[in-house]
Amino acid sequence: MVLAATGFGVGAIGLGVGAVAGALTLARSGALAEACPDDRCPPSRRDELGAANTLANVSNAGFAVLAIGAGVGVAGLLMLPAQGSPPRARAALTPVLGPGVIGLRATF
Residue 38 has pLDDT above 90, yes or no: no
Provide the pLDDT confidence category of residue 70 given band limits of 50, 70 and 90.
very high
Q: Is the pLDDT reported for residue 108 higher than 90? A: no
Q: If pLDDT is split at 50, 70 and 90, which confidence band does 67 have?
A: very high
Q: Which domain holds residue 20?
A: 2-107
CB-CB neighbours of 55 under 10 Å: 20
pLDDT of residue 54: 95
For the chain, the domain total comes to 1
Q: Could you give the count of Cα atoms lying within 13 Å of 68 in the half-sphere of its Cβ?
A: 9
Specify the pLDDT at position 18.
96
Q: Which residue has the higher pLDDT, 24 or 88?
A: 24
pLDDT of 90 above 90: no
